[in-house]
Amino acid sequence: MNADLPKGTATRQDLSEAGVALVVSHGEAAQAAAAMLRRRYTFADERDARILVALGGDGFMLHTLHEMLDGGEARPVFGINRGTVGFLMNEWRLDCLGERIASAKAVEINPLTMRAETVHGDEWTHAAINEVSLLRETRQAAKIEVMVNGRVVLPELVADGVLVATPAGSTAYNFSAKGPILPLSAPLLALTPIAPFRPRRWAGAILPDDTRIRFNVLEPTDRLVAAVADQFEVRDVSSVEIGLDRSRPLTLLFDPDQALDERIAAEQFAT
């Protein structure tokens, strides 16, 4: 990441000339850390920023990225963890913020696009950075037909649900559902069932990232199913189409020794 940024010292530093702005979650820890950063650094106004520093947790990082996808200007984001897990964030440190941003490793990710139709005929389109998941709304298992590139590959999946994850999201809900961890550079998507009942032995699939995936909900008015794109939920869906959107890439910045691709690779060996 090339930027003409000042070196980190104990004195107040001006990051505004480099176009670095600070955005902060509402969490108490993030707000307290923001006060410390503002005493140490001067930041640009968010509207004039070329780089964003996002202070919070993974949820706030997703919120920040979605604001760009929903019409905001796409800018590199350097996340600092003042949340819970912080997988998409860098570790919290007060000092040397300018140096860290200047030497950061840039990682580009592409979101999924979900197009969902409900049993009432409503249509919704939303982006997902981590995953799109279908989840049963009632005590009854969902019944879902799975199509890949216009061909039925699974006539009836009976399960709690099913999801499609990007490499960036493969260590999140996908991994909890026993899906595969995908290297960040791999042009792949994970298709993973959630608590499958039938077929019992279907563990999911790894697909090229140019694949078009469609889920048709069987018995959609009796076995209600919701579709969730990251944090955006559409209830009572009848069908959902999912594909990768390469037209709106997003850039995350990481300390070189803790970049996202290395973290994802390390997750394969976590015990």
**112 close to 242: Cβ distance less than 8 angstroms:** yes
* Dihedral angle of Cα 198, 204, 209, 214, to the nearest 10 degrees: 0
**Residue 33 three-state SS:** helix
Q: Is 195 annotated as a binding residue?
A: yes
Q: Is 59 annotated as a binding residue?
A: yes
Q: Distance between CA 85 and CA 154 in Å, rounded?
A: 35
Q: Is 25 annotated as a binding residue?
A: no
Residue 248 per-residue DSSP state: S
Residue with tokens 């989840």: 135
Q: Is 168 annotated as a binding residue?
A: yes
Q: Is 63 annotated as a binding residue?
A: yes
Q: Is 169 annotated as a binding residue?
A: no
Q: Distance between CA 222 and CA 220 in Å, rounded?
A: 6
Q: Is 16 annotated as a binding residue?
A: no
Categorise residue 243: left if φ over 0, alpha if ψ from -120 to 50, beta otherwise.
beta
Q: Is 43 annotated as a binding residue?
A: no
Q: Is 66 annotated as a binding residue?
A: no
**Residue 235 three-state SS:** coil
Catalytic residues: 58
Q: Distance between CA 36 and CA 204 in Å, rounded?
A: 46
Q: Point out the annotated binding site.
A: 58-59, 63, 130-131, 160, 168, 171-176, 195
Residues making up the binding site for NAD(+) = 58-59, 63, 130-131, 160, 168, 171-176, 195
